[in-house]
Homo-oligomer: A and B are copies of this chain.
Amino acid sequence: MSRKTLKLAIIGGGSSYTPELIEGVLKRRDDLPVSEIHLVDIEEGEDKLYVIQTLAQRMIDKVGADITITANFDRREAISGADFVMTQFRVGGLKARANDERIPLKYNVIGQETTGAGGFAKALRTIPVILDICRDIEELAPEAWMLNFTNPAGLVTEAVNKHTNVKSIGLCNVPVSMQMMIADMMACELKDLQLEFAGLNHLVWVHKAWLDGKNITAEVLAKVGDGANFSMKNIFEEPWDPDFLRALAAIPCPYHRYFYQTDAMLEEEKQSAIDKGTRAEQVMLTEQALFDLYRDENLNEKPKELEERGGAYYSDASLNLVDAIYNNRNTIHVVNVPNNGAINTLPLDAVIECSSVIGSWGAKPVTVEELSPAVNGLLQQVKAYEQLTIDAAVLGDYDKALMALSSHPLVPDIRKAKSILDDILRVNAAYLPQFKVSVP
C-alpha cells in the first residue's frame, strides 16, 4: 500500500488492557506506520487514563518510536480523522457488572456477564452508547474501521451493522486461545493446523480440524474429554463428558459449558460468589493491583501480570486485524461479521463469529459446511435471544426485552425472566434512559 501515517483512537483508553495494545503497536512498527494514538475515556476514569497515558509514553520513549500519545475526554477529537477506532469500554464499570452477575443468581439462574443473563443487562447498557459513538464516526471518520472488543461483542457488532453505516468488525480472544490450546494438545505448529470455526461470539464451535491435511476432530475431542487443558482463565473448568463430546462431533468453546453443563456451572457460580465474590468483584482487586504496577515510574513495558488478567491475545488479535486490513494481507482470522450466507440457516444480516478473510475489503466470512441439528438448534435459539435484545436495547421496548430473556436458553421459565428483567431495569435505571416504563 502507498504508505501514509495511521491514527488510532482507543475508546475506553483508561482500560488496564491498553498497555498490551501499545506493545502491539510498537512490535509492528515495520508494517504499520502508526503516528498517533488517541486515548479517550469518561471523566470518572480520569485518574486511570492518566496512569495509562504516562505508562504508554514511557513504553514509546523506550523504543524511540515516533508516535504521539494524546489522552483526554473529547471523543469527537479522538475519532476525527482516525483510521481505526478501537472500543473497549464498560458502561457502569465493574460495579454494574457485579450487579449483572448477582441479580440472576437470586433466581437460581446463571448470571455470567456475556453469555448468561448478566450479558443481557450489559447489552442494554452498551448498545445505545456504541450507536452514539458510531454517529460520531459516520460524521468524523466515515472511512475508519471500528474494531469492537466491547462485550457482548457479537450482539454489539450486530447492533452496529444493523443501525449504522460504520465499517466494523467484532473481536474476541476466545478463538485465538482455542487455536493455541489445540496446537498445544496436538504438539504442532499453529500454521499446520486448519480449523473451521463458526458460531456466535462465546458460542463458537470448531466444526472440523485438520493437521497436515488429516481430519483430527475426533482426536482433539478425545483429548479434551480426557482432560486436556481447554479453558480460559475466567471460566470454571468443569470436566467434559467424553461420550457427549464424541456425540457432538464438533469442538465446543469453553463458554459452551454454561449451555451444556448448566447445573454444575450454576452451582460453581453460586458457591464462588459466596466464597470470594462474583467474578466482577475479583476483577476489581486484580485491576487495583495492575494499576499499582502501572504507576511505577520505572515501568516502561507491559508487565507480565497483565497476561493473567484473562484477556490474553486480545491485543495481538486486534493489531493483526489492523495489519491485515492496512496491508491487504488476506489472512484468515476468526471475527464477528455479518453472516452473508456463511451459515446458511441464519439470516444474511445476523452477525456470526466465523473464520474470515481479512484484507482491504474488511472481513468476509468463509462458508461453513452444513451444521448438525444439535449445533443449529442451540445457535438459532441464542441468535433469537440476541436479535430480541438488540431490538429491546435500541427501542427501549419492555416487551422485546421480556421476550429476549424468555428466549434465553439459560432462563428456564418466563416467571424468572420477568423477575430478572424487572430487577435489571430497576438497578440500571440510570444507564437505561431508553426504557420509558417505570418498573415498580
Interface residue? A285 (CB, 8 A): no
Residue of B nearest to A246 (CB): B399
B-contact bits for A211-242, CB 8 A (1 contact / 0 none):
11100000000000000000000000000010
A331 within 8 A of B: yes
Residue A68 CB within 8 A of the other chain: no
- Kindly state whether residue A361 has any CB partner on chain B within 8 Å: yes
A374 near B407 with CB under 8 A, answer: yes
- Does A191 belong to the interface (CB within 8 Å)? yes
Hey, which chain B residues are within 8 Å of A340, CB to CB? 344, 367-369
Known: A378-B407, A399-B246. A370 touches B348 (CB 8 A): yes
Instruction: With A243-B402, A388-B374, A400-B247 as known contacts, state yes or no: A328 contacts B191, CB within 8 Å.
Output: yes
A288 within 8 A of B: no
Q: Mark A1-40, 1 if CB is under 8 A from B, else 0.
A: 1100000000000000000000000000000000000000
| B-contacting 9-mer, from A48-56, A89-97, A409-417 | A409-417
User: Which of A213, A332, A400, A403 has the largest number of chain B CB atoms within 10 A?
Assistant: A213
Known: A213-B360, A341-B368, A418-B244. A388 touches B413 (CB 8 A): no
Q: Is the CB of A332 within 8 A of B357?
A: yes
Query: CB of A286 within 8 A of chain B?
Result: no
Contact A212 to B2, CB < 8 A, known contacts A194-B360, A343-B341, A418-B244: yes
A binding-site residues for B, Cβ under 8 Å: 1-2, 143, 191-192, 194, 196, 208, 210-213, 241, 243-244, 246-249, 260-264, 325-326, 328, 330-332, 339-345, 348, 355, 357, 359-361, 364-370, 372-374, 376-378, 380-385, 387-388, 398-400, 402-404, 406-407, 409, 412-416, 418
Q: Knowing that A1-B213, A260-B406 are A-B contacts, what are 14 other residue pairs whose CB atoms are under 8 Å apart, sorted by A's residue number?
A: A194-B328, A210-B328, A210-B361, A213-B326, A330-B331, A341-B343, A367-B367, A372-B403, A373-B388, A374-B403, A377-B407, A378-B384, A380-B384, A409-B409
